[in-house]
Amino acid sequence: MLIAHISDLHCGSRAGFNPESLDLAITEINELMPDVVVVTGDITHNGFLSDYRLAVKYIEKIKCERKIIGSGNHDYRSTGYLLYRRYFQKPHILEVENSIIVYLSTARPDRDEGEAGYRQIQWLGKILDRFKDRFKIVALHHHLVPIPDTGLERNTVIDAGDVIRTITQHNVNLVLCGHRHRPWSLNMGNSLIINAGTVSSERFRGFFANSYNVIEVEGNKIDARLKVVGGRTMDFKELLTEREPFIP
Ligand SMILES: [Fe+2]
Ligand SMILES: [Fe+2]
């Protein structure tokens, strides 16, 4: 199974949205012909109607039948959560081959920090129980664990501990996050956490290029790589050991 993981498009008329980068990324992804595309939120910059209409045009250009289009904190601004429901709400659970992908909604109206909430965590546990024999992927917008080179930490999931416990207790194989605009990865128990950078915002943090992730899953083996938009493919190990910030 080939997964294209993109995040933090920030579609909008201003504020650092780079339409050329998004067009190029979509061209590259379409050439890859992934089995599934996972978008981990911040599709829009301000949650405005015009932002959503622009985002819909881009998402429609992605030639993949199976997409999960998750929400982020920016999408819930300015009552954008009502528009998100209108344009992108379903599905939040997707079965692809022997895998189950679940999107956990952590965005809340007019708040930057994330929250999964007691009920949603209970729901997640039930879904993971039901599909316990599958390769399990949980996707969410906010990062579960702080990420280096991103300044003062104040935007993680406020109930991250409870989410992490559910993820580790159910042996989730892969966790996909966005939000911080800084690609990163780490192992947590039996789970691999992959954080995406931003695919088309100029608001970089510590990694100064637009990027997305290309993840190949074969059985329980995960091969995750970072693709710089219009540039090279990097191994996440390379990213973790590099001491200088990436500047193209
Ligand atoms: Fe973002
Ligand atoms: Fe965000």
What integer best gives the mean pLDDT of the chain?
95
Going from the Cα of 38 to the center of ligand 1, the distance in angstroms, rounded, reads 15
Going from the Cα of 109 to the center of ligand 2, the distance in angstroms, rounded, reads 12
Going from the Cα of 135 to the center of ligand 1, the distance in angstroms, rounded, reads 27
Q: pLDDT digits over 28-83, tens only?
A: 999 999 999 999 999 999 999 999 999 999 999 999 999 999 999 999 999 999 99
Going from the Cα of 75 to the center of ligand 2, the distance in angstroms, rounded, reads 8
Q: Which ligand is nearest to the CA of 107?
A: 2
- Average pLDDT rounded to a whole number, residues 185-197: 96
Report the C-alpha gap between 78 and 71 in whole angstroms.
Answer: 14
Q: What is the pLDDT of residue 237?
A: 87
Q: Are 41 and 28 in contact (CB under 8 A)?
A: no
Q: In terms of pTM, does the model score above 0.85?
A: yes
Q: What is the pLDDT of residue 155?
A: 78
Distances (CA, A) of 99 to 13, 27, 81: 37, 26, 28
Going from the Cα of 33 to the center of ligand 1, the distance in angstroms, rounded, reads 25
The answer as to CATH 3.60.21.10 being correct for domain 2-241 is: yes
Going from the Cα of 133 to the center of ligand 2, the distance in angstroms, rounded, reads 32
Going from the Cα of 66 to the center of ligand 2, the distance in angstroms, rounded, reads 23
